[in-house]
Structure 1
Amino acid sequence: MTENPTADASKYNFLSLGDSYTIGERVSEADRWSVQLAGLLRKDGLDVGSPDIIAKTGWTTSELQDAIKASSNQKTYSLVSLLIGVNNQYRGQSQDTYRTEFRALLQTATKFAGGKTTHIFVLSIPDWGYSPYAVGQSKARIAQEIDQFNAIAKEECEKAAIAFVDITPLTRSASGDDTQFASDGLHYSGKQMKLWAEKSLSTAKESLQK
């Protein structure tokens, strides 16, 4: 869990919520997708500070919500991202529970965004079944379950008028290219996460300009 003390000096501040994919397990801070996105926004002339991050490897929706409460973060942000759910799928948790807890996280994100849902965006869950780590496991089963969790997230985003960015195909296309994975063969390298940042760029720009 990190907070950037210099972010307040920028015109726009950014909060990134999630799990290992947001904290960037096994990669440098500069390689984190949200840090890369902030850099891309700055290149496009938007004065965005490096993101505050509330994320940790292994977190499910409920654990992220608990950590947000424990952080006592009362700030309001220009931009809020959410990427969560792979650990719900990995642990075999109920999709109905995910829906309820994900919906609550969208409400939490909305509070951080000062009530402006147009300043929030959600990234879809990456498909770890295509990673080297998953060799020997059922790629089809994992893909089906990831798709089901993502369908729930997308539906809840649509209900809440929150942007949904589908990065799952990018993670599937990484299969067979070890340079797109971190050293553990499960998480992603900065190379793959750069694609997520690029995919999110237009959505993030629109959010900041609304």
Structure 2
Amino acid sequence: MLQYLALGDSYTIGEAVAEQQSWPHQLVNKLREQAIDVAAPKLIATTGWTTGELLAAIEKENPPSAYNLVSLLIGVNNQYRGYHLDLYREDFTRLVQKAIFYARKKPEGVFVLSIPDYGVTPFAAEKQPQQISREVEEYNTIAQGICQRLGVTYYNITENSKRAALEPDLLADDKLHPSGKMYTEWVEQIYPNVVKQIRLLQKV
């Protein structure tokens, strides 16, 4: 049975939606539909966490290096708090390296999702939304570069998230976090390549 570890923040736990509507749980259910034997996801994620807080939580929990798949989605709270990009660059590099370690030291078992653009949400309407969108893109550019350097798959779900500007049902009731429907769309986007990652891992 495949073991899956999901690292992140509110976007990983599925803030404001039912647990089974979060994208890690939807991904596991999708894999099971295709007869891929995978355990329920292990989540190390909490709403509001920055990269530093996720690193501290990982150190405290000390998960084993025994996972087949490890996902990472983190950084929006660094941006929200106005932290320096250099801190994100340093912390995110460490997080990807840790993810590789937990994936049995195989970069092929790790994948990263980009930060959604919450600048398009009603929550951000009076909080300089264009600046938010620009800064989220800066964070994502850094993350993508680190993933390329470390040989880790990077999925850009940010463009998809921007549709919430015109499709309110893609947002949860809090008008900030994604709805289960948006998480479904993320899973539909990444699922075919995640399956390819799994097939590749089963060959090596």
State the TM-score, normalizing by the size of structure 1.
Answer: 0.92
Match of 2:18 among 28, 53, 75: 28
Instruction: Give the aligned partner of residue 60 of structure 1.
Output: 50
1:199 aligns with 2:189: yes
User: 1:19-61: CA deviations, max 9, x gaps?
Assistant: 0000111111110001001111111221112200000000010
Aligned length: 200
What code does the residue aligned with 2:34 have?
A: D
After superposition, residues 144-163 of structure 1 pair within 5 angstroms as 144-163=134-153
More helix by share: 2
Q: Check whether the contact 2:13–2:46 (CA below 8 A) recurs between aligned residues.
A: yes
- State the Cα distance separating 1:72 from its structure 2 match: 2.5
Cα distance in 2 for residues equivalent to 1:188 and 1:170: 11
Instruction: Give the aligned partner of residue 86 of structure 2.
Output: 96
User: 1:161-193: CA deviations, max 9, x gaps?
Assistant: 000000001110111322211111111110001
Instruction: Give the aligned partner of residue 4 of structure 1.
Output: none
Instruction: Give the aligned partner of residue 36 of structure 2.
Output: 46
What code does the residue aligned with 1:164 have?
A: Y
Q: Check whether the contact 1:182–1:188 (CA below 8 A) recurs between aligned residues.
A: yes
Q: Check whether the contact 1:79–1:204 (CA below 8 A) recurs between aligned residues.
A: no
Cα distance in 2 for residues equivalent to 1:49 and 1:75: 16
Match of 2:199 among 201, 204, 209: 209
Instruction: Give the aligned partner of residue 136 of structure 1.
Output: 126
- State the Cα distance separating 1:75 from its structure 2 match: 4.6
Q: Check whether the contact 1:16–1:82 (CA below 8 A) recurs between aligned residues.
A: yes
- State the Cα distance separating 1:137 from its structure 2 match: 2.5
User: 1:79-122: CA deviations, max 9, x gaps?
Assistant: 11000000011111011110000000011101110100001000
1:170 aligns with 2:160: yes
Structure 1 stretches lacking a partner, 5+ long: 1-10
Match of 2:115 among 125, 147, 156: 125
Q: Check whether the contact 2:65–2:101 (CA below 8 A) recurs between aligned residues.
A: no
Cα distance in 1 for residues equivalent to 2:34 and 2:147: 27
Cα distance in 2 for residues equivalent to 1:200 and 1:55: 20
Partner secondary structure for residue 165 of structure 2: coil
- State the Cα distance separating 1:127 from its structure 2 match: 0.6
Q: Check whether the contact 1:163–1:203 (CA below 8 A) recurs between aligned residues.
A: no
What code does the residue aligned with 2:27 have?
A: L
Instruction: Give the aligned partner of residue 112 of structure 1.
Output: 102
Cα distance in 1 for residues equivalent to 2:170 and 2:42: 25
Partner secondary structure for residue 122 of structure 1: strand
Stretch moving more, 71-80 or 159-168: 71-80
Stretch moving more, 134-143 or 100-109: 134-143
Structure 2 stretches lacking a partner, 5+ long: none
